[in-house]
Amino acid sequence: MNLPIRFLLALLLAGFAASAAAHEVRPGYLEISETGTDAYDVAWKVPARGEYRLSMYVRLPEKCTGTPAPGSFVAGAYVERWQAHCPGGLVGEHIAIEGLNTLQTDVLVRLQRIDGTTQTVRLTPEQVSFEVLAVPGAWQVAKAYFMLGVEHILLGVDHLLFVLALLFLVSDWKRLIVTVTAFTVAHSMTLAAATLGFVYVPQAPVEATIALSVVFVAGEILHVAQGKPSFTARAPWIVAFVFGLLHGFGFAGALRQIGLPQADIPLALLFFNVGVEAGQVMFILAVVALLSLVSRFLPRRAPTGYGPWQAEQLIRVPVAYLVGSVAAFWVVQRVVGFWA
């Protein structure tokens, strides 16, 4: 492949990384708990950076009274709490998030009734309101957490770059399937263990180490390209499994920020994980399709070298440097953040 094409592909990957980093999934969270006849406790958590919160606000039905108490910034969010009185209750009424249609984030809403039943809804810029149902169903929980899982992996650039690095390290389908499966099994284990409270690891060191794992795999790609196969190249599934355990703690941290419906924790956890896997498969298929497309414009060197892996071999080094450089920046940024 000539230099301009390599540069173009590297530039596209750099643009992807920058775009994904700028759209980290940090959804808002609204919890409404029925405490008595027509009485509700409201907790509203808005994503924030420093002292700046996103401009979106809860709009309860007009018949509801109650004013939010002064909020506070807590762990990357602005949190407000108040009590609302809604004569006649909320069934059949609509609740909206004002300003959501102008932002690139979601809002997870959980409405818990006094009888213990829960309605969970995911609001988006395209759907900024919902109707309170008389009898909520489990399907709403499954759908909401599945989509959150898909979005978290597709917009979580550090996880995607790790998967991308694995794709460039493993150059045949059989080994790729085994490696990705090992990564999936591992992060599913720690995601469940951490979310259910069996294990706790501070989030800041986890995020820094995840970035370091991307640097490590990028370096292994360069070793392979230089004809210096290491243990990682010989048994990538083992390395993928070990680092997958780490990435699972990262997924769990995001899920803790979102919250889980107490009455449907197993269902929500299952479908969040299924959503993560679905998004991961979508990303892998997209990358392989792109490599296959690029390979069509390359000279056919040998019958066994034609296909997605031919393009992969030709851009392996620039991709390794790009991925490693971005991840190294994250390592420094996240370590410095320990003392910020």
Residue by residue, pLDDT tens for the chain (340 residues) are 444 444 444 444 544 444 444 344 578 899 999 999 999 999 999 988 778 889 999 999 999 999 888 888 887 789 999 999 999 999 999 999 999 999 888 898 989 888 777 888 889 999 999 999 887 677 778 888 898 888 888 888 889 999 999 888 887 788 888 998 999 999 999 998 988 888 888 888 999 999 999 999 999 988 888 887 788 888 899 999 999 999 999 888 878 777 777 667 888 889 999 999 999 999 999 988 887 777 776 655 544 444 455 555 667 788 888 899 999 999 998 888 777 6
What confidence score (pLDDT) does residue 2 get? 44
What confidence score (pLDDT) does residue 312 get? 59
Q: Please give the distance of CA 132 from its chain centroid, rounded to a whole number.
A: 27
User: Are the C-beta atoms of 260 and 268 separated by less than 8 Å?
Assistant: yes
What confidence score (pLDDT) does residue 6 get? 47
- Count the Cβ atoms, other than its own, within 10 Å of residue 231: 10
- The contacts of residue 317 (CB under 8 Å, 6+ apart) are 221, 222, 225
d(CA 317, CA 168): 9
What confidence score (pLDDT) does residue 76 get? 77
What confidence score (pLDDT) does residue 4 get? 41
Sequence-ordered alpha helix ranges (H) in the chain: 3-22, 138-154, 157-169, 173-195, 203-225, 231-234, 236-258, 265-295, 308-336
Q: Which residues of 49-85 are buried (b: 16+ CB within 10 A; e: fewer)?
A: eeeebbebebebbeebeeebeebeeeeebbbbeeebe
What confidence score (pLDDT) does residue 182 get? 92
Q: Please give the distance of CA 110 from its chain centroid, rounded to a whole number.
A: 20
- Long-range contacts (CB closer than 8 Å, 24 or more residues apart) made by 238-242: 238/182, 240/166, 240/179, 240/180, 240/182, 240/183, 240/186, 241/182, 241/183, 241/185, 241/186, 242/186
What confidence score (pLDDT) does residue 17 get? 47
What confidence score (pLDDT) does residue 136 get? 67
What confidence score (pLDDT) does residue 317 get? 83
Q: Which residues of 249-281 are buried (b: 16+ CB within 10 A; e: fewer)?
A: bbbbbbbebbbbbebbeebbbbbbbbbbbbbbe
In this structure, what token pair is assigned to residue 8?
Answer: 């173009």
Its pTM stands at 0.71
3-state secondary structure of 135: coil
Q: DSSP secondary-structure letter at 26?
A: -
Question: Which residue type sits at 58?
Answer: V
Q: DSSP secondary-structure letter at 45?
A: E
What confidence score (pLDDT) does residue 19 get? 44
d(CA 258, CA 123): 13
Closest CA to 183 of 171, 170, 195, 172: 170
What confidence score (pLDDT) does residue 42 get? 95
d(CA 105, CA 101): 9
Closest CA to 91 of 135, 123, 121, 127: 135
In this structure, what token pair is assigned to residue 40?
Answer: 């509700």
- The contacts of residue 304 (CB under 8 Å, 6+ apart) are none
